[in-house]
Every structure is written in C-alpha cells, then in structure tokens.
C-alpha cells in the first residue's frame, strides 16, 4: 500500500473502477493542496495524465479495483518531482495551476 500512497503521476490517464470496498484518491488542486475523493463499490474515477495523486484505503482497509487503459497498458508511476515529464507539462498547459513548483 505504501507504493500507492507515494505521490506520483502517470503518462496516461489513470482510470479505475471500484468493484468492491472503498478508499481514497488524493489529487492536488490549483494551490497544490490535497483534495480527497472517497470512492466505493461501483464508482469510476479518472485522474488526468500528468496530475499528481496518491491512493490509500479507508478504515475498512479493503478495496478491489481494476485499472482500465486506452491503448497499451502503461503501469509506471513517476514519483514527484516529475515536473519536466511531457505528461506533466501537457497537464499544466491544459489545467494551469497557481503553484507549479511546490517543494
């Protein structure tokens, strides 16, 4: 679970369907603060390519989720900082942030 809680981004959208259980996806807002999204069975979430995010379970400590891909699967997380990665630069162009280089 620690690997999912480490802040990272992906070169492709992360699309998850929760089949059972529940947990939290955290994503950074335009002020580089965490926004927590609780997901549960039946929820579908898409985190845009280049967005910094992380995942953790809730107090039930159980989730069964599948990841969906468009095209060839790419599983590689790019841990922060990855501000020069093409997916991050494209994300910032599409969704301008007020804080880009948070430490």
Q: Which tens digits make up the pLDDT trace of 61-89?
A: 999 999 999 988 888 999 999 999 999 99
Mean pLDDT of the chain: 93
Say if 100 falls within a structural domain: no
Domain total in the chain? 1
DSSP letter (8 states) at residue 93 = H
Say if 103 falls within a structural domain: no
3-state helix, strand, coil in the chain (%, to 5): 15, 40, 50
- The phi, psi pair for 73, rounded to 5°, reads -65, 135
Task: Count CB atoms within 10 A of the CB of residue 48.
Answer: 17
The pTM score is 0.88
Residue 67's DSSP bridge partners are: 16
Say if 102 falls within a structural domain: no
Residue whose C-alpha is closest to residue 102's, from 6, 11, 29, 22? 29
Out of 27-36, 52-61, 89-98, pick the least confident: 89-98
Say if 66 falls within a structural domain: yes
Say if 101 falls within a structural domain: no
What's the CATH number where 23 sits? 2.60.120.10
Say if 15 falls within a structural domain: yes
**Residue ranges making up the domain that contains 60:** 1-94
- The phi, psi pair for 67, rounded to 5°, reads -105, 130
Cβ atoms of 51 and 28 within 8 Å: the answer is yes
Say if 24 falls within a structural domain: yes
């Amino acid at each position: 679970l620690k690997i999912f809680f480490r802040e990272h981004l992906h070169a492709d959208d992360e699309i998850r369907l929760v089949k059972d259980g529940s947990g939290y996806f955290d994503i950074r807002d335009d002020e580089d603060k965490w926004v927590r999204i609780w997901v549960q069975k039946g929820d579908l979430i898409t985190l845009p390519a280049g967005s910094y995010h992380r995942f953790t379970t809730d107090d039930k400590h159980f989730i069964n989720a599948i990841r969906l891909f468009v095209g060839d699967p790419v599983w590689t997380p790019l841990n922060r900082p990855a501000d020069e990665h093409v997916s991050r630069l494209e994300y910032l162009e599409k969704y301008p942030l007020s804080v880009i280089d948070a430490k």
